[in-house]
Amino acid sequence: MSGHAVLRGEGLTIRFGGLVAMDDVDFVLEAGEILGVIGPNGAGKSTLFNLITGLYRPSAGKVFLNDRPLNGLPAHRIVQMGVSRTFQSSRLFADLSVLDNVIIGMHSRTHSGVFDALLRPSKARGELQQAAAKAGDLLRSVSASLYDQRERAASELAQADRRRLEIARALAAEPKVLLLDEPSSGMDDRDTDALIADIRGITARRPELSIMIIEHDMRLVAELPHRVMVIEYGRKIAEGSFQDIRNMPRVQEAYLGRKAAAHA
């Protein structure tokens, strides 16, 4: 990690009518760091991602990418600036091939449009060929198994490979910051171990890539993040290493309830 704050949030707050879904949350993500975000269901974790990526606009507070404010920018512009994400529920194009899904993820980095396709087809075709080659290299770097299945429809993939494909497609936008929303969802222990290895491989090849990861699987949270931030009812209640926060009474109460935590 470099000590440089790539992404940071200050006083992030969002209200939906009378409901405060995010309440005065600060965070910092350094270059090359993996920051885990955990908390009970409904704590506001995905809301935080939606605020960062422009799907929601904060009622108060600001988000900065390399000290440039993201507030008010449309989601596609935030992707172009270097923030990419996966979603809790699949957003893959199920009927398209694995390779085509990754190529679509490159749209923010390509230049040919409808005009080129109609009037300068050779230019558009050349860029598509380059994109296909690059997509293949990206798939291979994320997962050799996924690369071997590059011509299959996304709908034919096993759940673990769909999750890997979502990560590959997010990486296709060449992000500075990658937001992963429950990447191990639906995986068994063996698949989760493989996912941990895949993410470690990604960070080894991209040492400046910063990752925020929402996750419920404590095995993954214990092994991957450098720091962990805990959210409950839209407020940050703890932050530190996994070893530090796991035994905090406030964190145990958030997950187990006050009475259960007292006997833990």
pLDDT value, residue 231: 96
Q: 117 and 234 share a domain?
A: no
170, containing H or E segment: helix 159-171
Same domain, yes or no: 78 and 180:
yes
Q: In this predicted model, what pLDDT tens digit does every residue of 102-125 receive, in sequence order? A: 999 987 655 444 344 434 455 657
| Mean predicted confidence (pLDDT) in 169-177 | 95
**pLDDT score of 2 more than 90:** no
* Residue with more model confidence, 60 or 114: 60
Same-domain check for residues 148 and 182: no
Domains held by the chain: number: 2
CB atoms within 10 A of CB 92: 20
End-of-domain residue from the set 123, 155, 172: 172
Do residues 31 and 157 both lie within one domain?
no
pLDDT, tens digit (0-9, with 9 covering 90-100), for 6-55 = 999 999 999 998 899 999 999 999 999 999 999 999 999 999 999 999 99
Residues 134 and 198 in one domain: no
| pLDDT for the residue 127 | 73
Average pLDDT, integer, range 193-218: 95
User: Domain for residue 89, yes or no?
Assistant: no
Which pTM value belongs to this model? 0.89
Angular region, 175: left φ>0, alpha ψ -120 to 50, beta rest: beta
Please tell me whether residues 121 and 42 are part of one structural domain: no
Task: Please state, in angstroms and rounded to a whole number, the distance separating the CA atoms of residues 223 and 242.
Answer: 9
- Which pLDDT band, with edges at 50, 70 and 90, does 129 fall under? confident
In terms of domains, do 13 and 41 share one? yes
State pLDDT tens for residues 206-247.
Answer: 999 999 999 999 999 999 999 999 999 999 999 999 999 988
Whether 90 is in a domain gets the answer no
The CATH number linked to 12 is: 3.40.50.300
Mean of the per-residue pLDDT values of the chain: 89
Same domain, 142 and 197: no
Locate the DSSP E strands across the chain.
Answer: 5-16, 19-30, 34-38, 60-65, 68-69, 83-85, 177-181, 210-214, 227-232, 235-240
127, 149, 172 — which closes off a domain? Answer: 172
- Name the pairing type of β-strands 227-232 and 210-214: unpaired
The answer to whether residues 179 and 244 belong to one domain is yes
Question: Does residue 2 sit within a domain?
Answer: yes
Predicted confidence at residue 263, as pLDDT, reads 43
What DSSP string describes 83-137? EEE--SS----TTSBHHHHHHHHTGGG----HHHHHH-HHHHHHHHHHHHHHHHH
Last residue of a domain, one of 120, 150, 172: 172
Residue 153 contacts residue 96 (beta carbons within 8 Å): yes
- Domain of residue 76, residue span: 1-82+175-264
Q: Do 183 and 66 reside in the same domain of the chain? A: yes
Give the H/E segment covering residue 198. Answer: helix 189-205
Please indicate, yes or no, whether residues 201 and 229 belong to a single structural domain of this protein.
Answer: yes
Would you state the structure tokens that stand for residue 24, as one six-digit string? Answer: 């005065």
Domain membership flag for residue 210: yes
User: Residue 120: how many CB atoms within 10 A of its CB?
Assistant: 12
Predicted confidence (pLDDT) at residue 264 exceeds the cutoff of 50: no
Which of 220, 90, 227, 103 shows the shortest CA–CA distance to 164? 90
Give the per-residue pLDDT at 122.
Answer: 59
pLDDT score, position 131: 87
Same domain, 68 and 103: no
**First and final CA of the chain: distance in angstroms?**
34
What tens digit of pLDDT does each residue of 247-259 get? 899 998 887 665 4
Share of the chain above pLDDT 90, in %: 77
Flag whether 87 is in a domain: no
